[in-house]
Amino acid sequence: MKTIAVIGTLDSKGHEHAFLAEEIQKRGHKPMLIDLGTGSDPCVSPDITRYEVAAAAGLDLQPLLDRSDRGECVVAMSQAIPHCLEKLVRENQIHGVISLGGGGGTALATAGMRALPIGFPKVMVSTLASGNTAHYLGTKDITMMPSIVDVAGLNRVSKMVFSRAAATICAMVDTEVEAIDAKPIIAASMFGNTTECIDHARKLLENAGYEVLVFHATGTGGKAMEDLIASGMVTGVLDITTTEWADELVGGTLSAGPTRLDAAATAGIPAVIAPGCLDMVNFGAKESVPEKFAERKFYIHNPQVTLMRTTSEECAKLGEIIAEKANRSTAPVTLMIPEKAISIISAEGQPFYDREADDALFAAIRKHAQVPVVSFPETINSRAFAEAAAHQLLQNIQSHSNQK
């Protein structure tokens, strides 16, 4: 029997969480009810009270409750629940976590879930599951299920959804993940437009004894990769696809934020960096592109994704940014330039071919870089470039190892 934390606002949604706990118990596991409520007294008895949750973060909840400021209380509980859950996981007291919620409940519960390791079972049944969930999930593997109806009472629809959510978390904690050989990890960034490069490089790196974890450079993917690198689990970084910086600079939809490319430099992890897909800024459907870009060059990738070509001025700034990020590294890092194309569609004869813009990008990298810059008369997806990038990373890793 394993223990599953059932967390939620037990003042307003106590009966619903109690039903969920009963469904977990029916399936052979022990529920642990944890109260995150900040209103009236809970309508069911928790195993861990709201006061105990707050105390886990060194907070005295009662003065906050006495001030009757709901916003202040919710903020406090969202800061406390990560500490509470982390402690329970560290002490092996819980083996999974599940919650039900609307807006406030989802924000509270997922704040706690985001603090838990990747691989730890997490399920959030939410009224917000069909919308933009990025700020609830962060970079963690939280499974979100639409509640369909509001989490307000037990009826034929909510009971069905909650029962299946209980079955889901029970199946997750029951699943034993097969142990694998512990190989050193290389993190790699990829986009559809750099897939061939990464696929070929990955095979070479795997043959050299590494496990390659590939991240899709979609904003969230870049953040997840940065988090993994910062965790200390990574031996090397093959950052071929730095496209998220184009979105950060110009205002596209797939930005990974201003700290993209910081983790490897800060942690002193050997890396190879390329300006992959810096020719494009990502937007949604064509009608979603801001009016100020109306005269720019576009490529319709699919009905939901519109790509916009970066200009010479933007490329020059991107080159400067990439170089300066690389300069901060304390480990061996190499900037590699594929002179004939930085994506499939930037090659000669393709929609985003722009020699002037690419030259501005490459010139800025060379001007500002204080680390080695290696140029190749190849496209980014050529086997020659992929092989050179893989071999260069292996050299950087070996060099770094020799320095220790």
Q: Order the strands of the 305-309 sheet from edge to edge.
A: 280-283, 305-309, 298-302
Evaluate if pTM is beyond 0.85: no
- 103 vs 375, higher pLDDT: 375
Alpha-carbon 395 to chain mean position? 28
Could you give the angle at the alpha carbon of 245 between the alpha carbons of 192 and 304, nearest 5°?
45
Q: Which CATH architecture has domain 3-174?
A: 3-Layer(aba) Sandwich (3.40)
Average pLDDT over every residue of 337-359: 97
Catalogue the E-assigned strands of 326-366.
Answer: 333-338
pLDDT, residue 204, reads: 97
Give the span between the Cα atoms of 239 and 255, in whole angstroms: 15
Q: Could you tell me if 334 and 390 are in contact, meaning their C-beta atoms sit under 8 angstroms apart? A: no
Domain ranges (residues) in the chain: 3-174, 185-403
Element (H, E) at 145: strand 143-146
- Per-residue pLDDT of 209-254, as tens digits, reads 999 999 999 999 999 999 999 988 899 999 999 999 999 999 999 9
369 in the Ramachandran plot: left (φ > 0), alpha (ψ -120 to 50) or beta?
beta
CATH class of 185-403: alpha beta
- Per-residue pLDDT of 376-399, as tens digits, reads 999 999 999 999 999 999 999 999
Neighbour-count burial for 112-127, b at 16+ CB within 10 Å, e otherwise: bbbbbeeebbbbbbbb
> Tokens 């606002």 label which residue?
9
Taking 80 as the threshold, does the pLDDT of residue 404 lie above it?
Answer: no
- Per-residue pLDDT of 259-302, as tens digits, reads 999 999 999 999 999 999 999 999 999 999 999 999 999 999 88
The terminus-to-terminus CA distance of the chain in angstroms comes to 46
Q: How far is CA 340 from each of CA 113, 116, 147, 290, 346, rounded to the nearest angstrom? A: 45, 44, 50, 30, 8
Q: How many CA atoms lie within 13 A of 371 on its CB side?
A: 24
- Per-residue pLDDT of 326-342, as tens digits, reads 999 999 999 999 999 99
Would the CATH topology of 3-174 be identical to that of 185-403?
yes
Neighbour-count burial for 168-204, b at 16+ CB within 10 Å, e otherwise: bbbebbeeeeeeeeeeebbbbbbbebbebbbebbbeb
> pLDDT grade, residue 179 (50/70/90)?
low
In this prediction, what percent of the chain has a pLDDT beyond 70? 99
Measured in degrees and rounded to the nearest 5, phi and psi for residue 217 equal -75, 65
